[in-house]
């Protein structure tokens, strides 16, 4: 993530669905914020010091504010609970970014697949594609109607290009049918819980010709990743080849934590294994991959690792740092 950061005021909070609060962030004295593109995210430092990344979901034409939507994840790692349980309006938060690792790539049209709060980065994409006059379709699934964030706004924007799928009434979205109806020259973007993204990936691989979806992994995936409640395995040594450093990674700390003490500029963002910013080449040793960036099928031959969550299956791990 960019090291540019500034303190922004939480100007407004509003509910956009059950358990989803939207925060509007502005400069304390007003004024234009840096521009951003659909798919971008920012990192908030919460009052407790926790850092969390959220997709920008406002309108790119609104240069005065950045907007994020936060789903309360009761079994998450504490960030969303803090946002929901703290009176943040009127307070300032440190905000870094924006950074975009989920950009709209050129295509003849777009299929946007959202699960729950995964709609956040896809909403500005739908606005942008409408402004560009490009064909798009958006499918938003959630457990029930009360959890379909931004449903009214999406329908107003796209009419019958938007399909809302409340699971208690209609079951899961028919991803296979959606993909089959999408021309090969159209791009597929998906953001949502891990099982949904795994299904999209599998269907795209099996398509003829196979297609490569653009995925943003977060929300439900986070609670499944090693975190506060998941045990880390034991201690191991890390050798940083380029820096000539050797250090111990204790059982309760991540490689990233330990490396940052010596190399404070090492890149990172989500610290939860889904954004890919901390991807680091491994020159020797056996990584224990715990991220959701590297496809499980590619783990045995992967030559890199996400040092924020992955660990070592060998006593020593050598990294190209
Ligand atoms: S910081 Fe995001 S994958 Fe490691």
Q: Domain limits of the chain?
A: 5-100, 109-223, 236-319
The verdict on domain 5-100 having CATH code 3.30.70.890 is no
Instruction: Quote the pLDDT of residue 108.
Output: 97
pTM here is 0.71
Per-residue confidence (pLDDT) for residue 12, from 0 to 100: 92
How far does residue 172's CA lie from ligand 1's centre (Å)? 29
Q: For residues 271-276, give the mean pLDDT.
A: 79
**Domain 109-223 belongs to what topology?**
Rossmann fold (3.40.50)
Q: Looking at the predicted structure, is the pLDDT value of residue 2 above 80?
A: no
Residue 271 CA, closest ligand 1 atom number: 1
Question: What integer is the mean pLDDT of 261-289?
Answer: 87
Lowest mean pLDDT among 180-189, 219-228, 238-247, 304-313: 219-228
- The more confident residue out of 238 and 226 is 238
The residue-averaged pLDDT of 83-97 equals: 88
Averaged pLDDT score across all residues of the chain: 88
pLDDT above 70: percentage of residues in the chain? 93
The preferred substitution site among 271, 294, 310 for testing ligand 1, maximizing ligand atoms within 8 Å of CB, is 271
The confidence band for 244, taking pLDDT boundaries of 50, 70 and 90, is very high
The CA radius of gyration of the chain, in Å to the nearest whole number, is 20
Mean pLDDT within 282-306: 87
Stronger pLDDT, 143 or 82, i.e. the higher one = 143
Asked if residue 278 has its Cβ within 6 Å of ligand 1, the reply is yes
Domain 236-319 has CATH 3.10.20.30: yes
Ligand 1 centroid to residue 226 C-alpha, Å: 12
Q: Tell me the angle at which helices 151-158 and 119-132 cross, rounded to the nearest 10 degrees.
A: 20
Distance 87 CA to ligand 1 centre (A): 29
Identical topology for domains 109-223 and 236-319: no
The alpha carbon of 69 and the centre of ligand 1 are apart by a number of angstroms equal to 20
User: To test the ligand 1 pocket, which listed residue (217, 225, 269, 305) has its Cβ within 8 A of the most ligand atoms?
Assistant: 269
Q: Is the model more confident about 40 or about 74?
A: 40
Q: Confidence class of residue 230 from pLDDT cuts 50, 70 and 90?
A: very low
Tally of CA atoms within 13 A in the half-sphere of 95 that contains its CB: 27
C-alpha 242 – ligand 1 centre gap (Å)? 21
Q: 277: Cβ below 6 Å to ligand 1?
A: yes
pLDDT at 64: 96
Q: Is the pLDDT of residue 301 over 70?
A: yes
């Amino acid at each position: 993530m960019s090291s540019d950061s500034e303190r922004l005021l939480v100007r407004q909070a509003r509910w956009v669905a059950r358990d989803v609060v939207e925060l509007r962030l502005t400069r304390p004295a007003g004024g234009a914020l840096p521009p951003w593109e659909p798919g971008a995210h920012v990192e908030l430092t919460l009052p407790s010091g926790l850092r969390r990344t959220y997709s920008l979901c406002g309108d790119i034409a609104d240069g005065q504010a950045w907007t994020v939507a936060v789903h309360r994840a009761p079994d998450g790692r504490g960030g969303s609970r803090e946002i929901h349980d703290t009176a943040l309006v009127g307070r300032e938060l440190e905000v870094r970014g924006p950074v975009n690792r989920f950009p709209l790539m050129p295509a003849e049209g777009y299929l946007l697949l959202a699960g729950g709060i995964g709609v956040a980065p896809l909403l500005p994409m739908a606005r942008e594609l409408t402004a560009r006059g490009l064909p798009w379709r958006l499918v938003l699934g959630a457990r029930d109607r009360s959890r379909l964030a931004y449903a009214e706004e999406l329908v107003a924007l796209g009419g019958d290009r938007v399909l809302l799928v409340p699971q208690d009434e209609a079951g899961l979205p028919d991803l296979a049918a959606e993909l089959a109806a999408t021309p090969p020259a159209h791009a597929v973007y998906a953001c949502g819980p891990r099982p949904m993204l795994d299904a999209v990936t599998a269907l795209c691989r099996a398509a003829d010709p196979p297609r490569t979806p653009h995925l943003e992994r977060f929300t439900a995936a986070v609670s499944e990743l090693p975190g506060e409640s998941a045990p880390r395995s034991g201690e191991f040594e890390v050798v940083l080849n380029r820096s000539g450093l050797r250090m111990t990674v204790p059982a309760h700390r991540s490689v990233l934590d330990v490396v940052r003490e010596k190399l404070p500029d090492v890149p990172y963002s989500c610290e939860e294994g889904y954004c890919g910013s901390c991807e680091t080449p491994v020159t020797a040793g056996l990584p224990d991959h715990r991220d959701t960036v590297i496809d499980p099928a590619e783990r045995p031959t992967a030559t890199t690792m996400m040092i924020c969550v992955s660990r070592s299956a060998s006593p020593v791990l050598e990294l190209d740092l």
